[in-house]
Amino acid sequence: MPARKTDRRSSSRRLEYIIIECVTPELDGGRYPVKRITGDTVIVGADLIKEGHDQLAARVLFRPPGDSEWSQSPMHFDYDRDRWYGAFTVDRIGRWSFTIEAWTDRFATWRAELRKKVDAGQEVQLELVEGAQLARAASRGTRSSAARASLLMTAKMLEDRRNTTIEKRIQRALDDDLLALMEEHARPNDLTRYRRELAITVDRERARFAAWYEMFPRSQIAPAVAKAAQRHGTFTDAAARLPRLADLGFDVVYLPPIHPIGETFRKGKNNSLTAEPGDVGSPWAIGNAHGGHTAIDPALGTIGDFDRFVATARDLGLEVALDYALQCSPDHPWVKEHPEWFHVRPDGSIKHAENPPKKYQDIVPINFWCDDRAALWNACRDVLRYWIEHGVKIFRVDNPHTKTFAFWEWVIHEVQREHPDVVFFAEAFTRPKRMKSLAKLGFTMSYTYFTWKNQWWELRDYLTELTQTAMVEYFRGNLFANTPDILNEYLVNGGRPAFRARLLLAGTLLPLYGIYSGFELCENVPVHPGSEEYLDSEKYQIRPRDYDAPENINADIRRLNEIRREVPALHWYDNLSFHTSENPTILFYRKAARAPLVQFPGSSPEPVPAEAAATLGLRPAAHGADVLVMVNTDPHHVQETMVHVPIHEMGLDDEQRYVVHDLLTGARYSWRGVRNYVRLDPAQQPGHLFVVER
Amino acid sequence: MPARKTDRRSSSRRLEYIIIECVTPELDGGRYPVKRITGDTVIVGADLIKEGHDQLAARVLFRPPGDSEWSQSPMHFDYDRDRWYGAFTVDRIGRWSFTIEAWTDRFATWRAELRKKVDAGQEVQLELVEGAQLARAASRGTRSSAARASLLMTAKMLEDRRNTTIEKRIQRALDDDLLALMEEHARPNDLTRYRRELAITVDRERARFAAWYEMFPRSQIAPAVAKAAQRHGTFTDAAARLPRLADLGFDVVYLPPIHPIGETFRKGKNNSLTAEPGDVGSPWAIGNAHGGHTAIDPALGTIGDFDRFVATARDLGLEVALDYALQCSPDHPWVKEHPEWFHVRPDGSIKHAENPPKKYQDIVPINFWCDDRAALWNACRDVLRYWIEHGVKIFRVDNPHTKTFAFWEWVIHEVQREHPDVVFFAEAFTRPKRMKSLAKLGFTMSYTYFTWKNQWWELRDYLTELTQTAMVEYFRGNLFANTPDILNEYLVNGGRPAFRARLLLAGTLLPLYGIYSGFELCENVPVHPGSEEYLDSEKYQIRPRDYDAPENINADIRRLNEIRREVPALHWYDNLSFHTSENPTILFYRKAARAPLVQFPGSSPEPVPAEAAATLGLRPAAHGADVLVMVNTDPHHVQETMVHVPIHEMGLDDEQRYVVHDLLTGARYSWRGVRNYVRLDPAQQPGHLFVVER
């Protein structure tokens, strides 16, 4: 093994005039980018360390995507925290870089000392000559001839004991104009650059705020038609559903795979191992004689139909998200054309998926480290390019944790280099560290454990982890209330009140949330008791629905999405905090009016102090009102509680009355002080969504 | 400015088969080494992330100082934490390196899947052929001809459908011997090395456990002799004091600068600006016609006298620490020989130290970034080399925060490369971040704010920060109870009981502590009320003392140092915890019997779980007994309290009786349960130092 001696390496380290450390935002020592949205102000923090009493100065260097030169922004010192802060706004999407430079402000140091000596009545003749030397050095460094002339004249004056009075010379030395001139033109002789360039992935707003709706296009056919015609829903049928989704206020329509479905070992209804004639199969078994990942299931229509579907959605303000499921049915064209991209067994057969002793013979996994890796990875990337050309900019990635992580980092970067507006959504239900890792290496947003968090303390703990730890720098949870794979027992047992409560939670806890169709109808019959699979799951058969069936919660959805768009506090990710509810079955949380500025040195949250924010010229912009949410997590019983409103954090006095306005019902209540009464009947109302009026 | 495009850089990143992250111990992304003591077991933790279900394997690679090859130690998986742990013991001093390698254990993965299929009664003919392929690949990779033969025979047998029964082939496939053979000889095809090599500075035990005593050699003369002879104490006088210090149980004797003292602007008694004839001056104003940093003040003796002093100390088991104060009096030889090493003013004069409007004309600071930097830094290093040749291996560094930090990193590394047993002790009383930075960049140990922490909550909070945060990885506090510069008002007001309490705190809170002479006599007269300076400070004059004067606390010191040596729990740094005392004026803390194994991913403490420790073969060695300390922080009044003993952490049941044995007085008390009574009269006893007997 190569043995680079540590001693040699350390000795050759470049000497640093100034130590620059604890830089934020920085993820895993700069290994991964942090994430932001266009328009965000990035607050950069750093500790600068130098011996003695010299005055330091520093700036943030930042480089927007595509620029080859650094831009810069000054840093300011926060005395109480012994820390420096700078800021810049990321005004376009793509990969930004930043770093920090620090140096000694020799002129300011000299000037401050001069002032103290003058104030103490000390002799300063020599000091003035030293000031002249500084001015002269600055004059040599500048390209501005006007500045050079002014600096040289100043230098002459400062050392001119004959013709200028000491008072005048001191006055010139302490002149604010001279300070400004020196700050602009003096070149530091100890400029120190932070040893790392850090990256920021800047996404469009849709990456942080969106309401998602998942639907199988093949089911988008009226039950009567389906029964009468015995036919499969098409893109044309699905397009006809889009106005309804736009009316409900969704932003993204996500389609499970739309490609030709394998015949070999096709799954039958309710996941049976043998398909009956006419069974449509699972769309995740991708590929047959009609094509693979860039083809369309003929039963759904043509690529032209798909293009029209996308166009219809766009016209309605909806964006289409596609599934990106990197696996193949045994009938996928790649299996014949590129058997080397799969795991070939000693008898020449292609290995199917398995988790011994279970076999998944309808699927063959891709061998990402095969000898023909470069061609395979390019082909996988080209699938994305194909759909991007057809107007798709959001990909929901199926089970990314079962594919090579290095591939994801590569392909996301490859695609976003050309198309920085492309969003990748990781569907990884796996161990926490793997989910975090996928988010770090590039996934724009991620599924979460939300479906399994139904008790108040689970919600409080989990959402606090998502929003109040270093995870906010890279992990954007999208709270799906259900999926085709997950029908939680809370919904099974709780019925309609449970669906309403979960909708309200999903749509207010985080700015990203979603439902899978059927949720609005409170569909909750599992394939067998205790299972999280639906009976007659749409994964294996067509499920036409009457979306206006009785007991639907369309009105809840429409109103929630309307409120979400209106209320800025529901657009931010890190402004969530939980507060005391004396009966915690009623969960109580606040979405703060102004997104707090948070920075994370290491992993401990460090809010930027008000002073620093002020120093940086960050206006405490009045971003709408505070939102207070109370949700009754018990779908069966009326619950009542006293909630403890964080009035001091909200800038309210103990005696001050304030009005809480329930945007769900329109009701207004006059509250005062910390403790206030709440009663929620699940049969009537899942919770309150209050904005605080003054 | 050079503009390396981020895009290009990221694309060319080496692909990683396995993600290795959150490695511990790692300080600031590997920028700085962590610290350990010889004999310590270093526990290495890491998260390993790979897609799918393959079994992983990993090892720690570590390299002792001077070795050019890596040694290795296996890592083990802790399922509950989803984390890998490995360990190695650092058995010699110097700079160690380590890193991590991970790979897929293809054979173990194949074997586990085979077993499941066999158990399920599935057909495994193809699987056995695949096993044969693995064995054959391993045979090609090994250098052992015996292993090669065995692996080839195995391969043949596994695929031999004709002559061997399926049962026998399966038996061979699942054979433990084969597993061991494969683990040893199979070469992974996805070996992934962590992207950083991390460093550990391993010091000798004295760097973590020592009792220090500071004395001015010139004062080590009996008061009567001093008065009669009107003479200056010498090394010979000082050597005569050493048996006393050895008897009191000290480990290190630290001497303020012993060099010739400047005449120009020499300070008089009590820091007066003008010295009277005969005034000896401050030893920190280094250098006169007799020499500089490598010379000895002639009044103290010769280098031969110094060598004899060091030898006497060594014979008594004491180690001598010298002051390393990098500044000069205006009379220092360097000022004439190398004026370019200082700040030269426009009139050719050398700039004296100042903090405007204050002037320190007896001192000229060194210009560490002067044009002749290389020669200057080498000269500063050679001062250390000189004293190392004279037997000094511990340097107390004066005000390192007023000198260039890059110099310290360089010089400590330069010296420790040749002499890894040299200890550097930072005397930096400055802002916390600077103190931490000095410790990170190489100082072995550091002064602390201990002298100013006198209230129970200050002690609890500060010591918790020192011992229970990431600081334990690099910052070793040495709790000096007083210094020539710091006579705290707590000692001024509290008198002898305060001195006894502070001694007990210093000597038990951390394994490193010290006192400056006079402490044992409870000297506490400030130069003026409210000042932290001593009246008639030894910094400016000779102070002969009768160390057996009435009211001395020699007996306390002797007993404390004796106990410290006997009780292992007092040798460790990170085993401190504070516990409830219902009257918190009596501070209650525990030094745990076994040093907990702690690791720090990022900055949050993560104790190694018992299972992992067991997996790693770490014996829970019975390192002596638990220590419980109660100190009455009120020097004026009797206090009583109920303390809450952490009996469950100590492995005691609620009903179990246990004996607490006060090593200070010899008294024994029989206690039971959590709450127990303590009463402390400061006039009698500053506190209890209990060992828990069973």
A676: phi then psi, degrees, rounded to nearest 5: -140, 155
* List of long-range contacts for A149-152, beta carbons under 8 Å, 24+ apart: A150/A181, A151/A181, A151/A182, A151/A185
* Model confidence pLDDT, tens digit, residues B100-157: 999 999 999 999 999 999 999 999 999 999 999 999 999 999 999 999 999 999 999 9
pLDDT digits 0-9 by tens, B268-309: 999 999 999 999 999 999 999 999 999 999 999 999 999 999
CATH number of B576-693: 2.60.40.1180
Most confident range (mean pLDDT) of A83-92, A225-234, A250-259, B32-41 is A250-259
- Is A398 among the residues known to form the active site? yes
**A190 near B CB under 8 A:** yes
CA angle B563, B564, B569 (to 5 degrees): 110
- Chain A nearest-CA residue for B403: A51
pLDDT value of position A601: 36
Return the sign of the alpha-carbon dihedral for residues A210, A211, A215, A220: negative
Task: Identify the CATH homologous superfamily for domain B4-202.
Answer: Immunoglobulins (2.60.40.10)
A427 belongs to the catalytic site? yes
Task: Give CA–CA dist A208/A512, Å, rounded.
Answer: 6
The 3-state secondary structure of A5-60, one letter per residue: CHHHHHHCCCCCCCEEEEEECCEHHHCECEEEECCCEEEEEEEEECCCCCCEEEEE
How many contiguous H segments (helices) and E segments (strands) does chain B have? 17, 31
Where would I find the beta strands (DSSP E) of B388-535?
394-398, 423-427, 445-446, 479-480, 512-516
List, as one string, the DSSP characters of A97-161. EEEEEEEE-HHHHHHHHHHHHHHTT---HHHHHHHHHHHHHHHHH-S-HHHHHHHHHHHHHHT-T
Please state, in angstroms and rounded to a whole number, the distance separating the CA atoms of residues A598 and A617: 16
Cβ atoms within 10 Å, residue A133: 16
Specify the amino acid at residue A405: F
> pLDDT tier at B13 (50, 70, 90 boundaries)?
low
In our burial notation (b when 16+ CB lie closer than 10 A, e otherwise), range A380-399 reads bbebbbebbebebbbbbbbb
**What's the token pair of residue B527?**
């130069």
Q: Hey, are the CB atoms on B434 and A49 less than 8 Å from each other?
A: yes
A193-205 pLDDT, tens per residue?
999 999 999 999 9
Q: Specify the pLDDT at position A301.
A: 97
Beta-bridge mates of residue B512: B210
B500/B478 Cα distance (integer angstroms): 18
Res B497: pLDDT: 98
Which residues are within 8 A (CB) of A326 and not within 5 positions of it... i.e. 6 or more apart? Answer: A366, A380, A398, A403
Q: Which of A31, A34, A51 to mutate to test the interface with B (most CBs of B within 10 A)?
A: A51
Position B381 scores a pLDDT of 98
pLDDT surpasses 90 at B12: no
Average pLDDT over residues A519-538: 97
Q: pTM score, two decimals?
A: 0.92
Cβ count within 10 A of residue A165: 10
Identified catalytic residue from B427, B523, B574, B626:
B427
Model pLDDT, residue B80? 85
- Measure in Å the smallest separation between the Cα of A488 and chain B Cα atoms: 25
What's the pLDDT at B9? Answer: 37
Distance of CA A604 to CAs A151, A460, B91, B436, B466, Å?
Answer: 47, 18, 34, 18, 17
Highest mean pLDDT, choosing among A30-44, A212-226, A298-312, A584-598:
A298-312
Q: What average pLDDT does this structure show over A284-304?
A: 98
DSSP annotation of B271 reads G
- Mutate: best of B6, B106, B431, partner A, most A CBs <10 A: B6
Could you tell me the two tokens for A287?
């590929």
Residue B554 burial by Cβ neighbours in a 10 Å radius (0-12, 13-18, 19+): middle
- Residue A61 clears pLDDT 60, i.e. is over it: yes
Residue type, B38: T
pLDDT score at A231: 84
Comparing CA positions, the residue from A209, A210, A200 lying closest to residue A89 is: A200
Q: Say if residue A85's pLDDT is above 80.
A: yes
Q: Residue A253 in contact with residue A245, Cβ under 8 Å?
A: yes
A14 interfaces chain B, CB cutoff of 8 Å: no
Query: Measured on CA atoms in the order A100, A603, B191, B40, is the torsion positive or negative?
Result: positive
- Which residues of chain B does A405 touch, with a Cβ-Cβ cutoff of 8 Å? 16, 19, 49-51
Closest residue in A to B22 (Cα) is A28
Q: What are phi and psi of A212, to 5 degrees?
A: -100, 150
- Distance of alpha carbon A371 from its chain centroid, rounded? 35
CA dist., res. A694 & res. A626, Å (int): 11
Please tell me which residue of chain B has the smallest CA distance to A130.
B346
When computed from its CA atoms, the radius of gyration of chain A, rounded to whole angstroms, is 31
Residue whose C-alpha is closest to residue B325's, from B401, B432, B234, B406: B401
- Judged by a CB distance cut-off of 8 A, whether residue A405 touches chain B is yes
Chain A positions touching B474 (Cβ under 8 A) are none
Q: What gap in Å lies between CA B571 and CA B564, rounded to an integer?
A: 7
Residue A52 contacts B where some CB pair is shorter than 8 Å: yes
Whether the per-residue pLDDT at B599 is higher than 80: the answer is no
Chain A segment 119-138 residues within 8 A of B by beta carbon are 119-120, 122, 126, 129-130, 133
> Residue B14 gets which letter from DSSP?
P
- For A593, the 3-state DSSP assignment is coil
Residue B619 has pLDDT above 70, yes or no: no
Overall average pLDDT of the A66-89 stretch: 92
A669-682 mean pLDDT: 97
Residue B506 near residue B513 (C-beta atoms within 8 A) = yes
pLDDT (tens digit per residue) in B443-474: 999 999 999 999 999 999 999 999 999 999 99
pLDDT interval class at A13 (50, 70, 90): low
* Partners of residue A288 on adjacent β-strands: A291
Chain B residues in contact with A8 by the CB 8 A cut-off are none
Mean pLDDT of the residues in chain B? 93
Which pLDDT band holds residue A623 (cuts at 50, 70, 90)? low
Chain-chain contact of B21 with A15 (C-beta, under 8 angstroms): no
Task: Please identify which residue in the block is written with the tokens 């111990």.
Answer: B25
Q: B76: buried, middle or exposed (CB in 10 Å: 19+, 13-18, 0-12)?
A: middle
Side chain identity, residue A681: D
Residue A344 CB coordination number (10 Å): 14
Q: Hey, CA dihedral for A325, A331, A332, A338, is it positive or negative? A: positive
Q: Is B76 helix (H, G, I), strand (E, B) or coil?
A: strand
The percent of residues above 70 in pLDDT, for chain B, comes to: 94
Interface test with B, best of A6, A189, A347 (most B CBs within 10 A): A6
Contact A60, A72 (CB under 8 A): yes
Query: A95, B6: Cβ pair inside 8 Å?
Result: yes
CA-based max dimension of chain A: 109
Cα Rg for chain B, rounded, in angstroms? 31
The DSSP string of A323-349 is EE--EE-TT-HHHHH-GGGB-B-TTSP
User: Whole-angstrom Cα distance, residue B117 to residue B127?
Assistant: 9
Q: Is A514 helix (H, G, I), strand (E, B) or coil?
A: strand
- The predicted structure's pLDDT at residue B651: 85
Cβ within 8 Å, pair B3-A63:
yes
Q: Which residue has the tokens 């009609």?
A: A290
Q: Do domains B4-202 and B576-693 have the same CATH topology?
A: yes
What is the 8-class DSSP label of residue A609?
A: P
pLDDT value of residue A8: 37
The sign one gets for the Cα dihedral B481, B483, B489, B494 is positive
- CA angle at residue B93 from B89 to B99, to 5 degrees? 50
Mind giving me the DSSP string for B205-238? GGGTSEEEEE--GGG-S-HHHHHHH-----HHHH
Using CA atoms, how far apart are residues B90 and B36, in angstroms rounded to an integer?
A: 8
Look at residue B7 and tell me whether its pLDDT is greater than 60: no
Domain boundaries in chain B? Answer: 4-202, 261-294+327-365, 576-693
Cβ(A637)–Cβ(A631) below 8 Å: no
Q: What is the pLDDT of residues B195-207, one digit of tens each?
A: 999 999 999 999 9
Give pLDDT tens digits for B426-444: 999 999 999 999 999 999 9
Does residue B622 carry a pLDDT above 90?
no
**Mean residue pLDDT across chain A:** 93
Give the integer Cα–Cα distance in Å for B229 and B227: 6
Residue B605 has pLDDT above 70, yes or no: no
Rounded Cα distance between A125 and B404, Å, is 28
B6 touching chain A per CB within 8 A: yes
Contact A109, A57 (CB under 8 A): no
Cα dist from A272 to A285, A532, A537, A540, B446, whole Å: 14, 16, 11, 9, 70
Name the amino acid, one letter, at B344: V
Helices A125-141 and A145-158 pack at an angle, to 10 degrees, of: 170
Query: Hey, what amino acid is at A236?
Result: T
Q: With a cut of 50, say whether residue A11 has pLDDT above it.
A: no
Lookup result for tokens 């500084």? A134
Q: What is the pLDDT of residue A613?
A: 57
**Position B596 confidence tier, pLDDT thresholds 50, 70, 90:** very low
Picking from B3, B19, B199, the nearest residue to A68 by CB comes out as B3
